[in-house]
Amino acid sequence: MKMGCHIKLSIFAFVTAIIATSYALTKRNIILQNHIDSLQLELRSASPDAILFWNQVMLQACANDYDKIVAFRPDQEGPAATARVFAIIHGAMYEAMNNFDRIYQHVTEGSRSSTNDSIDKQNGMIASIIEAAYQTLSFLYPQQRPLFDAIYRAHLYRIRNETSSQNDINIGLSIGQLTSSYMIENRKFDGSSDNAVYFPSMKPGYHKADPLHTGQGFLGVHWGQVKPFFLNSASQYRPLDIFQDMYSSRTSYLNSDSYKRELNDVKIYGSKNSTYRTDDQTQIGIAWAYDGAPKLGTPPRLYNQIVRIIAIQQGNTLEQNARLFALVNYAMCDTGIAAWEAKYHYAFWRPIVGIREASNVKDADLKWTPLGAPADGTGTDFTPPFPAYVSGHAAFGSAAFHTLRLFYNRDDIQFQFQSDEYNGKTKDSNTGLVRPALTRSYRSLTAAEMENAISRIYLGVHWRSDVERGMILGKDIALEVFRKLI
């Protein structure tokens, strides 16, 4: 009798698991099909710039990567990993374009291919870009291969129907294949797949896990060892040592007037229930976040969204877009490597730990809680799982905005941007309500860059030195990349 009961329960559990799995797969397929339909509609309604179009596919892939229905776990976890794959994808598209026009410098000689001057370069170039984007995306985001397959077929179908010169397209596809293969192979052993362990120090001033999310772990411990694209080493532009690594020196820094000013600054403006932070400052903190939330992804996605807006607004050619997006994403990739090298080199604590464990009784607040990085309906808001100094957001943002300044040779570019944190769809974890659709306006690149950096103080997850030194780091690396990729 008991055995029969156990058998029935086992069968029931098995059937339930099958139904649940089937439901999850169906839901996943529906989501991917919706994205396919949307992108295919764009292909049918216009003849898109191939760089901008596949950039859009890439940004959708990043958003999907943090949607657990689409990806069991992210293929590219964290902002530095995202920046790396964006650089590979746009680097491959840049090289694919440059093999036809040869108007810019190649990043790697191995990606150079010869083309016959008699072929139709425009068709061949577009085919090459499509192939390079498709191959790199498929390799780097393998869980979304059905999306890339469908869009690849649709885009090829369109360009094949627009020309009778099929041989030119085939040559382009071959060059795109060679270019993407080289890019992938060249980064296979760059250290991104390595592992390292961080052992938190119990001494004051050193990074520990968010006490409200003790199981969050430590992300990107090894990332400072990843091979950069353009820097000689990850530490080439290492930020200033403002506290030093000796116990006595760090203690001295924690007792300094400058640190106390920073502590009080984030304590009052970054608190969850701050009475000092204005509604606009709260919106600034949240709008620039993209802290790995579902359907939003990471900060490099946000900065690419802004670059898209400006590139379209400025009327870039396809060749200009190939170079601009390569510059931006190479700069952010190397900035991510350098920032994470600094983070784990200095291992400075975050505000939630620094304020709760402050040695001065007047400064300490055992219950202080930051507004936090938005979890967007998937849990409570949090402090990111890596050290504070320097701010990745500030560094990534300055790398992107300074690249735009260098590319257009001006700062007074006005633009508007609607963050996906405020797109009328994203839910706020604190209120449980969907945030309204809001668009922010900027009079210059510097205005947006400064707002991006200060946003981390309003969330209560960074000190002012983190954002100031992060901005310097991002600008230094943007200039380094720009000078080398002429």
What CATH number is associated with residue 30? 1.20.144
Q: What percent of the chain has pLDDT over 70?
A: 91
Last residue of a domain, one of 159, 188, 217: 188
Which of 91-105, 199-213, 287-301, 423-437 shows the lowest per-residue confidence on average (mean pLDDT)?
Answer: 91-105
Judge contact between 135 and 61, C-beta under 8 A.
Answer: no
What pTM was estimated for this model as a whole? Answer: 0.93
3-class SS of residue 440: strand
Is 378 in the same domain as 311? yes
My answer on whether 151 and 293 are in the same domain is: no
pLDDT at residue 428 greater than cutoff 70: yes
477 and 426 belong to one structural domain: yes
**Shared domain check, 118 and 31:** yes
With b for 16 or more beta-carbon neighbours within 10 A and e for fewer, the 21-48 pattern comes to: eeeeeeebeebbeebbeebbeebeeeeb
Residue with more model confidence, 123 or 436: 436
DSSP 13-56: HHHHHHHHHHHHHHHHHHHHHHHHHHHHHHHHHS---HHHHHHH
- Residue 3: per-residue pLDDT: 59
Q: Residue 367: pLDDT above 90?
A: yes
Same domain, 335 and 264: yes
Domain boundary among 131, 155, 188: 188
202 and 341 within one domain = yes
**Which pLDDT value is given to residue 120?**
65
Please give the average per-residue pLDDT across 445-453, as a whole number.
99
What is the CATH classification number for the domain harbouring 292? 1.10.606.10
Please name the residue that has the structure tokens 């932070």: 277
190: burial class by Cβ within 10 Å (0-12, 13-18, 19+)? middle
Co-location of 140 and 279 in the same domain: no
97 and 205 share one domain: no
- 292 DSSP 8-state letter: S
pLDDT band at residue 194 using 50, 70 and 90 as cut-offs: very high
Residues 19, 132, single domain; the answer is yes
Q: Which of 138, 164, 188 is the last residue of a domain?
A: 188
Q: What is the DSSP letter of 109?
A: G
User: pLDDT-derived band of residue 470, with 50, 70 and 90 as boundaries?
Assistant: very high
346 and 407 part of one domain: yes
447: helix, coil or strand?
Answer: helix
Average pLDDT over residues 238-262: 88
Query: Mean of the pLDDT values across residues 109-134?
Result: 77
**Range(s) of the domain holding residue 133:** 1-188
Euclidean distance between CA atoms 196 and 10, whole angstroms: 41
Q: Which of 28-42, 130-144, 314-328, 435-449 has the lowest mean pLDDT?
A: 28-42
What pLDDT shows up at residue 201? 93
Can you give the pLDDT at residue 109?
A: 60
Check whether residue 131 and residue 170 sit in a common domain: yes
Whole-number Å distance between alpha carbons of 462 and 481: 27
Identify whether residues 273 and 221 lie together within a single domain: yes
How many domains, the chain? 2
Closest CA to 394 of 79, 81, 82, 87: 79
